[in-house]
Structure 1
Amino acid sequence: MNAQSHYENHLAAFYAWMSGNFETKQQEQQDWFSGHGVLPRGNKVAIDLGAGHGLQSVSLARLGFSVFAVDFNQHLLSELNARAKGLPIRTVLADLKNVPQYATEAELITCMGDTLTHLDSIETVRNLIQQWSALLPAGGRIALSFRDLTEELFGEQRFIPIKADDQRIHTCFLEYGPGFVRVYDQLLEKQNGEWVQKVSSYRKLRMGADLVKEMLADAGFRVVQHDVIARMQYLLAEK
């Protein structure tokens, strides 16, 4: 499956559970934004791409932005809407590769939570960063996060426990190829007292922070912050 089919047919149904306590995770994102000065200073509009169930969108709205929350999965956007009551968030069901579906003048674009690695090629990422740059004014900012999968894991290291409780067990298995990793999401779920296995897979891009920094520079951005948090690369850049 591609990323969209994988989410629609498998991952979206348990994504919120897999992600952990929403309030805790959301506050972590908000603290990262505020700690690096990501606060409204222009038209107060932010575009959150791959918004999912709202960790970044809710954080940005609470910091004073009006947020366009873009995702290709309606289930996740419905969860976001339930959490966004009273906040200036507008959800947009769209594929982030189709920029005209969500294009608007903004002072901030975010694409976080490993969304970049869901894209189909390095050239797609490069092209999108160029298009996102065109939506931003001078001084506009872009915040990206993604998992660096360039270093290959071997043997039993490729089995990664994600989360487990009395009703569900989620494990990932990684299969490496040239330029991508195939991620198998295995869910064991207890139904009527019996464990039922569900498995689906999709590809993720293998790209490092240096390559993404090069793409940003080519699109007219200057990287002002680079953090590694829980093995995720966080980049903040200004046009």
Structure 2
Amino acid sequence: MNEVQSFYDELSSQYHLIFEDWERWIYTQSNCVANLIGPPDAVGQILDCACGIGSQVLGLASMGYTVDGCDISQGAIERAKREAEQRKLEIDLWVDDMRSLSEVGHRQYDVILCMDNAIPHLASDEEIANALSAMKRCLKPGGKLALSVRDYAPLLQDKPSFTPPRIHHLENEKRIVFQVWDWLDDRRYELHLHICRETASGWSNSHFVSRYRAVTIEEVCKILMLIGFIDVRKLSPDETGAHQPVIMAQVPSI
């Protein structure tokens, strides 16, 4: 996962530029998660195990949830800590690998989140099973898991080579964000993320590279059931308001 770590370390200072309005994105994402898990007074401790720079944890903490966050990227965690401090939010944040969650210790959670297509960074079904097993270990009996994954099933048929550019017209700059996908085989592709910015001094382009393995939602659901999760459900963006399909699952109660 060193390549993934480097990708997000490099991207951490510019991650917010992917969105036209990152603050609005935080609000939207947090409300989607809140609708999935229930109000703060009905939910205990939450862990976002791929929290990045804080797109979910910042909004949830501001809404009154008790939330921790971890990520494999030191750069992303440092950015998330700065964002939380600026907002005067108390969030425990640390570097951890979701394949083991070895830094969680004996803490257990009522809800674990793994959002924004983090799972396809894992190189094999075995790594996915290791990560989901680590999340299961860190959940209390009856605890819930929510993860979002890109719907790769139709994409595996066509193997697109790029995503349509998003053009953000802002007050002081124009921004164009797009991805180029170089397919390495039937499953794996190298993603090239470009963030192009036009300011008063001219155009600039930032380029970030990472690898993904296209795993389908049905395959993730099967792995969840094989390792002992129950009530495994796929929810469409139309049902949740999220930008990707969401998979919900639960640890059996004692």
Q: TM-score, length-normalised on structure 2?
A: 0.80
CA contact (8 A) 2:8 2:75 kept: no
> Which of 225, 230, 233 is the aligned partner of 2:245?
233
Shift of 1:157: 6.0
**In structure 1, what is the Cα distance between the partners aligned to 2:189 and 2:210?**
8
Gaps of at least 5 residues in structure 1 are none
**In structure 2, what is the Cα distance between the partners aligned to 1:8 and 1:143?**
24
**In structure 1, what is the Cα distance between the partners aligned to 2:51 and 2:31?**
17
TM alignment of 1:85-234, pairs within 5 A: 85-103=87-105, 104-150=107-153, 151-152=155-156, 154=158, 158-165=162-169, 166-176=173-183, 177-190=185-198, 193-223=201-231, 225-229=233-237, 232-234=244-246
Note the alpha carbon deviations across 1:100-120, whole angstroms, 9 max, x for none. Answer: 122421111111011112223
Alignment partner, residue 65 of structure 1: 65
CA contact (8 A) 1:140 1:238 kept: yes
Change (3 A) 1:236 1:59: farther
CA contact (8 A) 2:167 2:176 kept: yes
**In structure 2, what is the Cα distance between the partners aligned to 1:34 and 1:197?**
35
- SS of the aligned residue for 2:92 comes to strand
CA contact (8 A) 1:45 1:67 kept: yes
Note the alpha carbon deviations across 1:192-222, whole angstroms, 9 max, x for none. Answer: 8343444332111211111111111122222
Shift of 1:163: 4.2
CA contact (8 A) 1:162 1:172 kept: no
- Counterpart AA for 1:77: I
Note the alpha carbon deviations across 1:102-142, whole angstroms, 9 max, x for none. Answer: 24211111110111122232211111111211121221011
